[in-house]
Amino acid sequence: MADKQDDSTIFNKYQNYIDSPEKQRALYRRTLIIVVLSQIFGGAGLAAGITVGALLAQDMLGTDSFSGVPTALFTLGSAGAALLVGRLSQSYGRRFGLAAGFLAGGIGAIGVVIAAITNNIFLLFISLLIYGSGSATNLQARYAGTDLASPKQRATAISIAMVSTTFGAVAGPNLVDVMGRFAIKLGVPALSGPFILAAATYILAGLVLLILLRPDPLIVAEAIADEKRKNKKVHLDSNTNSLAFNKRGIVAAATLMVLTQLVMVAIMTMTPVHMGKHGHGLSDVGMIIGFHVGAMYLPSLLTGVLVDRIGRLYMAIASGVTLLAAGVLAAMAPGESMTLLTLALILLGLGWNFGLISGTAILVDSTNPANRAKTQGTVDVMVALSGATGGVLSGVVVANSSYATLSIAGGILSLLLIPVFIWSSSKRVKLQA
């Protein structure tokens, strides 16, 4: 990596970390604090913009026919950025990769503001695509806390990052009105206000990582792993059994995160439509989605502890079972029942939470520092695209059948996680890094 090659002083600092488990633990704790701070800013940037993206497009186009375009562009931009951020992180470290992703998201948000001022639709769409970089980076930042974590700390580290995102994600939408009024005072369209906030918070998140994330946890983790291999005279490419298990773990982790994302997005997307057909207003929809989002993130600390203590496999199975329960309950609940629909959406968010945290932990377990960030970026691309697929297919299924059919199908699909994890856990080989 560039940092290690260009500066022998930096190499000496890495050597100090290699020789001192205490310094490794201190750097792990410091990294978590920095990640938490960046995630709070990043969460605000993500939520503030998404809240009004469709409204801004509708206002500029004068029609609601293309109001879904912003979400599609966020997703596409997120998928592309996940791959780029992963590769940049692998080559130059987490600090550079994550900072570049957040700063790109901030630039995209600035582009949206300029597009709103100039009423330039083409610039709006391009800027929204770039803005999606912030979303991908916000998700990938959860990996940074795991680089120096022990196997028994990894899920907890992931959960801390996810909980910290919640603070920003809750604050962002609540500042929409404030930022709208601020935008009007500046003489720009009100709907561009949240993107002013997004630009500021994404850039702050990027600067926090760029300035404070030193030494880089991924580079230090790779240096430690290299030293261990040298001492043991073990080369990664000579252990075919370990590689075979690694591949199984990567497949299992990817399957878990892709399926949980697809099922969650599909049912969540059509729930407001289903509620509207049964006479529920926007306040009811907002309340249920609020409970759903809370269930996605707030249980993370407990989930992380459970994943570390009782095991990845059990929590992965719990994810499938919980999603099945959510699908069955959503299908059986009367459309007029706020209580049962709310419970179904809470279970849906909880199942997603179990799946993302356990899947992320499995992915970290199944990689080593030499290929970890690149692999994580590739898997996050699939996760982003699965969410887009779930959103598109959900409308098709409901249009040709019913919300109940969609919910049951999603629940049954989630059960595929069980045989995948039984397969992946057989012939388990202990990882070396």
pLDDT of residue 4: 43
CA distances for 204 relative to 52, 316, 336, angstroms: 21, 35, 44
Q: Are 233 and 377 in contact (CB under 8 A)?
A: no
Residues 263 and 139 in one domain: no
How many angstroms separate the first and last alpha carbons of the chain? 18
Q: Outline where 62-120 has alpha helix (H).
A: 69-92, 94-118
Per-residue CA distances from 258 to 263, 304, 423 (Å): 9, 19, 17
Residue 64: which pLDDT band, with cuts at 50, 70 and 90? low
- Residue 223, number of CB atoms within 10 A of its CB: 21
**Model pLDDT, residue 65:** 56
The whole-model pTM stands at: 0.82
Domain-ending residue, one of 183, 202, 232: 232
- pLDDT value for 237: 44
Is the distance from CB of 24 to CB of 148 less than 8 angstroms? yes
Instruction: For residues 146 and 267, state if they share a domain.
Output: no
> Rounded to whole angstroms, how far apart are CA atoms 337 and 195?
36
DSSP code per residue over 252-317: HHHHHHHHHHHHHHHHHHHHHHHHHHTT--HHHHHHHHHHHHHHHHTTHHHHHHHHHHH-HHHHHH
CA torsion angle 168 174 179 182 (round to 10): -130
* Banded model confidence at residue 199, pLDDT cuts 50, 70, 90: very high
Instruction: Tell me the C-alpha distance between 137 and 202, whole Å.
Output: 10
Residue 266: give the domain boundaries. 236-425
Indicate the residue type of 96. F
Task: Give which of 381, 342, 364 is closest to 159, Cα–Cα.
Answer: 364
Q: What pLDDT is stored for residue 257 in this prediction?
A: 95
How confident is the model over 26-41, as a mean pLDDT?
93
Whether 433 maps to a domain, the answer reads no
Same domain, yes or no, for 241 and 149?
Answer: no
* Rounded Cα distance, 242 and 111, in Å: 47
CA dihedral 319, 322, 327, 332 (to 10 degrees): 170
Which segments of 20-68 does DSSP mark as H helices, in order?
21-61
Domain identity same for 277 and 148: no
For residues 394 and 253, state if they share a domain.
Answer: yes
3-state SS assignment for residue 426: coil
Give yes or no: residues 171 and 259 share one domain: no
Phi, psi values for residue 430, rounded to 5°: -70, 130
Per-residue pLDDT band for 63 (boundaries 50, 70, 90) equals low
Mean pLDDT for all residues in the chain: 85
Q: How many domains does the chain have?
A: 2
123: nearest Cα among 192, 42, 45, 190: 192
* Cα dihedral 89, 90, 91, 95 sign: positive
Do 84 and 207 fall into the same domain?
A: yes
* Whether residue 173 is found in the same domain as residue 252: no
Residues 169 and 271 both lie in one domain:
no
Of 49-53, 71-75, 357-361, 387-391, give the range with the top mean pLDDT: 357-361
The better pLDDT of the pair 63, 423 is held by 423
CB contact at 8 A, 316 and 260: no
Closest-CA residue to 50 (of 82, 72, 29, 24): 72
- C-alpha–C-alpha distance, residues 380 and 76, integer Å: 12
pLDDT at 416 over 90: no
Same domain, 226 and 242: no
- CATH number, domain of 174, equals 1.20.1250.20
- Rg, the chain, Cα only: 22
End residue of a domain, out of 232, 251, 279 = 232
Looking at the fold, whether 225 and 269 belong to one and the same domain comes out as no
Same domain, 302 and 344: yes
Query: What phi and psi values does residue 203 have, to the nearest 5 degrees?
Result: -65, -40
Residues 6+ apart with CB under 8 A from 248: 366, 423, 424
pLDDT for 238-291, tens place per residue?
A: 444 444 448 888 999 999 999 999 999 889 888 888 888 888 876 787 688 778
Domain boundary among 232, 252, 276: 232
* 404 burial type by CB count under 10 A (0-12 exposed, 13-18 middle, 19+ buried): middle
Contact 309, 390 (CB under 8 A): no
Contact 70, 128 (CB under 8 A): yes
